[in-house]
Structure 1
Amino acid sequence: MSKVSVLVVDDAPFIRDLVKKALRGHFPGIRIEDAVNGRKAQQMLTRERFDLILCDWEMPEMSGLELLTWCRAQDALKALPFIMVTSRGDKENVVQAIQSGVSDFIGKPFSNEQLTSKVRKALGRAGKLDALAASAPVRNMATGMANDSLAALTGGKAEVVRPLRHQPQ
């Protein structure tokens, strides 16, 4: 069985580590490489084959959008699933990325569930889900949120804050 191979591209080591930990925890057989920016990712993509790219938008040297545009111009990478992991979720940026050929988005902060769901969906469309499923453990819902970016940013104290409802007097 060939391993599923993912390239994680982000200039923040903290985010790269969170993504790698979440993916390895959910898909133990997955192969993960990382790059600190689009330029390093571009070099890796010319030497190695990947099944999926998870990429930040804003990075030094070469942005995620520039890397996406370059990938879509390469015959070997045109159909490679490319998920933008970004805090740039406004309509203008989403439209720009879609026009450039992005496969999907994950907004920061994200949960492990959001991340693994998007990865599963992208690899399913690419016909790589069987290889991924072969390495996936049975999920434990009780421990699913411990290492996600939202929990890391809030010290594990992320709560849903509900607005107060006005009570008629």
Structure 2
Amino acid sequence: MTCLHLPPVPASVGTARKWAANLLPDDIRDDVGDEVVLVLSELLTNAVTHAATAPPSGTGAAGSVEDIEVEVVVDPGGGHVALAVTDPSDQPLPAAPETVEPEADHGRGLLLLDALAQDHGWAPRVGGGKCVWALFRRPRVPSRDGRGGVRGPAVVRAGCAGG
């Protein structure tokens, strides 16, 4: 499969939301789909906001138009979903703010990430930029033999690492 590459423009957020929602199987969408799509939207909005001020990889010049890369990985057996958004900004992911003023137009994305994802983090890219990721664990589902637990290790990749 191919990775979803998007230009760093606001319209890319809606495109990525629809793309990700369509990748999720119905049962996973019912359990964690809203959370996955909302966090993806927030991460991509941050990437779009900061990508325009990031230097192109290896140049040190401002004004990058490098694409943002989005990946969604679904484990249908266990119902886990991982997402990653890679952008050209070398700025580390800041800590979520303690509070956001009710009248503020922005600033809630990292709070939502903390609240909705079971785990998340970021890593710098070798050639510049960073990858921000989030993991969503679906509630435990009964196995096919009825003993409980999560089902098999099958993984369906959609995006960058898929092949």
- TM normalised by structure 1 equals 0.30
Q: Which has the higher contact order (CA 8 A, sep 6+)?
A: 2
- TM normalised by structure 2 equals 0.31
